[in-house]
Amino acid sequence: MRICIAAIIILLSSSFGTHAQSAITTPPHVVQITGACLVSDSLYPAPYVSIFRTRDRRGTYSNRDGYFTLPALAGDTLVFICTGLKTSQFIVPNTEEHQIRIVELMEIAPYEMSPLYILPYPAPHELKRDVLALDLPGDGHQLFKRDEISLADYDGMADFSNAAYENGSQILQARFNGGFVSGGNLLSPDAWHQFFNGYRRSKK
């Protein structure tokens, strides 16, 4: 009786040790994760999302259409990071499949800024005074001349009045017609005088 019990104990211990050894020596199961990153509210692709494994912080990026592929081990945690979107995670399930396809929906992360108040200047001369106080260094094309500065030259606005339009049109027409403005200089004695003087000078 004692011999039977001892044999059973030896068999159980040997079988348990064999299972434990096989569980320890079993290589980790590799799963190829393939999927797409989308914005949750619009389902638009989320391009250039950083995707990495938390185990070794190695990963990849999604392309401009949101697609990506990444090998991982069963049980790994994948982290999805992108500017303007909330960080999300995905845990690789312990499955016998060698490839998993997923769709990662990422929420928009709004950024709140401090209030900005834009107030008008009471008068143009005060704006000019503050612009002059900036002490701008200028560049290689135009020097900042403090004594000759005009606020109209630095306000960044174009003149769209009728007079400015007519003046610009006449200048362009004169350049195109070689000095003859269409409908205006054809019968002008001064224009013909300038034309013949220029012709004589070119002949000489």
H-assigned helices in 34-180? 124-132, 151-154, 162-176
Confidence (pLDDT) at 198: 76
Confidence (pLDDT) at 137: 60
Confidence (pLDDT) at 23: 46
Confidence (pLDDT) at 97: 87
SS3 41: coil
Strands 30-39 and 99-106: parallel
Confidence (pLDDT) at 20: 47
**Token pair listed for 52:** 């990495």
Strand order of the β-sheet with 85-91 is 59-61, 50-53, 77-82, 85-91
Return averaged pLDDT per consecutive 10 residues of the chain, 204 residues in all.
Answer: 50 51 62 94 92 92 93 93 93 89 93 79 77 64 56 56 72 62 58 76 67
β-pair partners for 50: 61, 81
pTM over 0.85: no
Confidence (pLDDT) at 6: 47
Residue ranges of domains in the chain, CATH in brackets: 30-106 (2.60.40.1120), 124-203 (no CATH)
